Chains A and B, each alone.
Chain A
Amino acid sequence: MDVELLLGIGRFVLATTLILLLTVPTAFIVIQLELKVIAGMNLRIGPNRVGPSGMFQSTIHGFKVLAKEDQIPDKADRATFTIAPWMVFMAAAMSMLVIPFAPGAIAADFNIGIVYFFAIIGLSVVGLLVAGWASYNKYSLLGGLRSAAQMVSYEIPLTLSVVGAVVLAGTLNFTELIHWQRDHGWLFIWQFVGWGIFYIASLAEINRTPFDMVEADSEIVAGPFTEYSGMRFGFFFFAEYVSLFIMSAIMTSLFFGGWLAPWPFPAELSGFLGTLYGIFWFFLKTYLFVFAAIWMRATLPRVRVDQLMGMAWKVLLPLALVNLFVTAIAVVWLNL
């Protein structure tokens, strides 16, 4: 074996490990944000006992689910029941591989990074469907079927909304896409409709309010997660919040210039300092979107299943197609 291949494998293993390790603090931070932000919007105090002003509440939640008893229902299909949380969590974790945090700080800089991302994030629906089926519970089954219907429907406008941006920038690579945005301006200006569709569809894709049909607690208890306990439930829970972070991160990269500051990148910042500078802007923008999603959760009611599906097929899909069509014509005629 040549050295280059070994180096490549080593780099991949290192990057994957780092990404897997990154999911844990990310989930903790997002959960903590949600606890505190929603508390503020509800005029509550929120967690304030664990650590200074309750900072470690979500960490304690994490340890709590680790320490809890792991129960499997008698009539559940043990093999699939066991594997489902793993599938959902890995789908979320693996899609983090292509997120460009800063110049040079990207775990795997594929030339088809965008395709890879949408392929992997779509896998989580399999896990949810399996969890719903394997639990031997009617609420789980309804939740699993809802998740399948919802995520498969929303994947189409979600992907189509990005194609406009891809056509415009002429690349499927995240780093090149961000370089294009550095030269031409952020894509949400060019692709305003595309960004709107992406935003709505991404909320539905990760089951956030107002599209949290899958675990609508007032209707189907907790959907596919009803029968899960202990760390298996913890994995679902983690995956959900990691997905929220990932979708915000991807939106930042695709439409809001990734690691770019709102003004030109200072030339004197290169190497490690430049990476830090990029990471700062990247996380600032990402957590703004995370905040917006939490804000919506505190404000909006939940839409109904049929309204949700109607929106995907009757509004978002035609709009995404029109957007793609107009973008393609503009690119060809105006030679953008």
Chain B
Amino acid sequence: MTATEPREGRVRDPIDLDAAEEARLRTAAGMIPAPIASPGGEYFGFDTVSIPDRPPQTERERELYTLGEGEMLVNMGPQHPSTHGVMRLVLKVRSEVVTDLDVVLGYLHRGIEKLSENATYTTVLTYVDPMDYMSAMHNEHAPALAFEKLYGIEAPPRAQYIRALVVELNRVFSHGLMMGFLALDIGALTPILYGFINRDEVVEMLAAISGQRMLFNFFRVGGVNWDVNDEFLSRLGAWHAKELRNVKDNEALLTGNEIFRARTRKMGVISRQQAINLGVTGPNLRASGVPFDVRSAHPYPPYHELEFTPIVQEHGDVYDRYLQRIAEIKQSMHLIEQIMDKMPHGPVQAQVPGIIRPKPGRAYAAIESPRGLYSVYAISDGGPTPYRFRMRDPSFVSLQVMPVLMPGHLIADTMAIMASLDPIMGGVDK
């Protein structure tokens, strides 16, 4: 195959194709044989087929953009107050009831995986920070583990404990913010600010250990950058003493609130089987009653030395996903106590050369991020950079629940359900 020929499954520019050739190529690409004329139609004077400005290309597109009686399309995002960054939803609504929905992604795509293939193993860890920007520590954790497997070393025990410590701290503020975003999307103003106050305390603490407030760049292949220091420990002590009270404050605003319960219970129910089939992981899966947590199912050090059982909820609705986050904050606090008790002495960095050249091979490492199973698959060809580098982002997978869950809910619930899935667009679009 020469460079100018299209690869199989791709459609060339249809302008200079005859009809039969075009139909053949389109079918091969999974599209409908011929473009369909726009259905047209007016609804309250609005041009309802303004999105998109081309005829539908697939059966699914035709289904979505063909309007029934009394239906209209509402384009939500990427500029919208509550689309968590730059997600775009195309809602098909009948009055305010959502009958169909499409999630349009890619507005925050930065090509991080491809960039990583041109970076040395050490610098890859700086590229992955801004992917899921709410849990930068987890982003670094997975590739660090994968590269260590690839290179055949292991981080010293103290480094593993420090990793677990910062990762659990990151989980606490990430879950705290999720509660705030959920509340904000339901219309409560205050919890998000409590979440940010809490986050600020934690990121100051992590800045004391790593030097950065958001994109920490703390993990290294074979260890971590710094040992814990006095400022970190004093901040940790002060924060740990009052964190549970902060959670209680937030809970007082939401958990027992009648309006909040009416808005979230029996909303967006993901059944146990549905969650497994759709590949949902993390708190969203556990809220549906499946006790799967990478930390206990496939423990990576030091979790096999810690006392840990996954928490589950029963119903799998928005309220349960919220309760799951609260329970996991408390669980993380408990894990932090255990880590501080058991932390061994020793070095925090294994002996690793400046530029790592692993032997050709493949490695896969998975961790439990606040949004679920976060994993890295890396292939080495013996050079200083990864030959291939792929990340599985859990919020990307969570989002595919949306079109399944949403039909039948109101526009207002769309936001609540989306916030309860806790997608971070930086991770979804990579």
Tell me whether A305 and B410 are in contact (CB under 8 A). yes
Contact A218 B193, CB 8 Å, known A209-B187, A300-B259, A301-B260: no
Chain B proximity mask over A213-224: 1 for CB below 8 Å, otherwise 0: 000111111000
For the residues of B in contact with A, the DSSP-based class is helix
Q: A residues within 8 A CB of B259?
A: 210, 300-303
Tell me whether A221 and B81 are in contact (CB under 8 A). yes
Chain A proximity mask over B250-262: 1 for CB below 8 Å, otherwise 0: 0001100101101
Q: Say if the beta carbon of B234 comes within 8 Å of chain A.
A: no
Q: Say if the beta carbon of A71 comes within 8 Å of chain B.
A: no
Q: B residues within 8 A CB of A307?
A: 262-263
Q: A residues within 8 A CB of B75?
A: 138
Q: Say if the beta carbon of A48 comes within 8 Å of chain B.
A: no
Q: A residues within 8 A CB of B44?
A: 141
Q: Say if the beta carbon of B17 comes within 8 Å of chain A.
A: no
Minimal beta-carbon separation of B402 from chain A (angstroms): 16
| Interface residue count on the A side (C-beta < 8 Å) | 31
Interface residues of B in 103-152 (CB under 8 A from A): none
Interface residues of B in 152-200 (CB under 8 A from A): 183-190, 193-194, 197
Q: Say if the beta carbon of B411 comes within 8 Å of chain A.
A: yes
In the assembled complex, the Cα of A300 lies from the Cα of B413 at a distance in Å of 17
What residue of chain B has the Cβ atom nearest to residue A39's Cβ? B193
Tell me whether A306 and B46 are in contact (CB under 8 A). no
What residue of chain A has the Cβ atom nearest to residue B192's Cβ? A42
Minimal beta-carbon separation of B422 from chain A (angstroms): 15
Tell me whether B188 and A305 are in contact (CB under 8 A). no
Q: Say if the beta carbon of B74 comes within 8 Å of chain A.
A: yes
Q: A residues within 8 A CB of B34?
A: none
What residue of chain A has the Cβ atom nearest to residue B260's Cβ? A301
Q: A residues within 8 A CB of B413?
A: 304
Contact A218 B253, CB 8 Å, known A42-B189, A301-B260: no
Q: Say if the beta carbon of B337 comes within 8 Å of chain A.
A: no
Chain A proximity mask over B320-355: 1 for CB below 8 Å, otherwise 0: 000000000000000000000000000000000000
Minimal beta-carbon separation of A40 from chain B (angstroms): 11
Q: Of the candidates A41, A219, A297, which one forms a contact with B415 in the assembled complex, judged by CB atoms under 8 Å apart?
A: A219
Q: Say if the beta carbon of B96 comes within 8 Å of chain A.
A: yes
Tell me whether A216 and B187 are in contact (CB under 8 A). yes
Minimal beta-carbon separation of A154 from chain B (angstroms): 16
Q: Say if the beta carbon of B72 comes within 8 Å of chain A.
A: yes
Minimal beta-carbon separation of A121 from chain B (angstroms): 24
Tell me whether A303 and B262 are in contact (CB under 8 A). yes
Q: A residues within 8 A CB of B412?
A: 216, 219, 302, 304-305
Contact A142 B263, CB 8 Å, known A43-B197, A218-B184, A298-B190: no
Minimal beta-carbon separation of B261 from chain A (angstroms): 10
In the assembled complex, the Cα of A220 lies from the Cα of B186 at a distance in Å of 12
Contact A38 B72, CB 8 Å, known A217-B81, A305-B96: no
For the residues of A in contact with B, the DSSP-based class is helix
Q: Say if the beta carbon of A199 comes within 8 Å of chain B.
A: no
What residue of chain B has the Cβ atom nearest to residue A307's Cβ? B262
Q: B residues within 8 A CB of A111?
A: none
Chain B proximity mask over A235-257: 1 for CB below 8 Å, otherwise 0: 00000000000000000000000
Q: Say if the beta carbon of A212 comes within 8 Å of chain B.
A: yes
Q: Say if the beta carbon of B52 comes within 8 Å of chain A.
A: no
User: Could you say which interface size class chain B belongs to?
Assistant: 20 to 34
Q: Say if the beta carbon of B68 comes within 8 Å of chain A.
A: no
Q: B residues within 8 A CB of A217?
A: 81-82
Q: A residues within 8 A CB of B45?
A: 136
Tell me whether A44 and B193 are in contact (CB under 8 A). yes
Contact A138 B72, CB 8 Å, known A299-B253, A301-B183, A305-B410: yes
Chain B proximity mask over A299-325: 1 for CB below 8 Å, otherwise 0: 111111111000000000000000000
Tell me whether B193 and A301 are in contact (CB under 8 A). no
Q: Say if the beta carbon of B248 comes within 8 Å of chain A.
A: no
Minimal beta-carbon separation of A254 from chain B (angstroms): 26
Q: B residues within 8 A CB of A209?
A: 187
Q: B residues within 8 A CB of A43?
A: 193-194, 197
Contact A300 B188, CB 8 Å, known A218-B81, A305-B96: yes
Q: A residues within 8 A CB of B80?
A: 221
Tell me whether A38 and B410 are in contact (CB under 8 A). no
Q: B residues within 8 A CB of A210?
A: 187, 259
Chain B proximity mask over A21-62: 1 for CB below 8 Å, otherwise 0: 000000000000000001001111000000000000000000
Q: Of the candidates B257, B410, B414, which one forms a contact with A301 in the assembled complex, judged by CB atoms under 8 Å apart?
A: B257
Q: Of the candidates A38, A138, A221, A302, which one forms a contact with B186 in the assembled complex, judged by CB atoms under 8 Å apart?
A: A302
Q: A residues within 8 A CB of B262?
A: 303-304, 307
Tell me whether B72 and A297 are in contact (CB under 8 A). no
25 example contacts (A-B, Cβ-Cβ < 8 A) are as follows A41-B190, A42-B190, A43-B193, A43-B197, A44-B193, A136-B45, A138-B46, A138-B74, A138-B75, A141-B44, A216-B187, A216-B412, A218-B185, A219-B415, A299-B188, A301-B183, A302-B187, A302-B259, A302-B263, A302-B412, A303-B263, A304-B262, A304-B410, A304-B412, A304-B413
Q: Tell me the B residues contacting A by CB distance below 8 Å.
A: 44-46, 72, 74-75, 80-82, 96, 183-190, 193-194, 197, 253-254, 257, 259-260, 262-263, 410-415
Task: Beyond A38-B189, A138-B75, A219-B412, list 14 extra A-B contacts (CB 8 Å).
Answer: A42-B189, A42-B194, A44-B193, A136-B45, A136-B46, A141-B44, A218-B82, A218-B187, A301-B187, A301-B260, A303-B263, A305-B96, A305-B410, A306-B410
The 5 closest A-B pairs by CB, nearest first: A302-B187, A218-B82, A301-B188, A301-B186, A42-B193
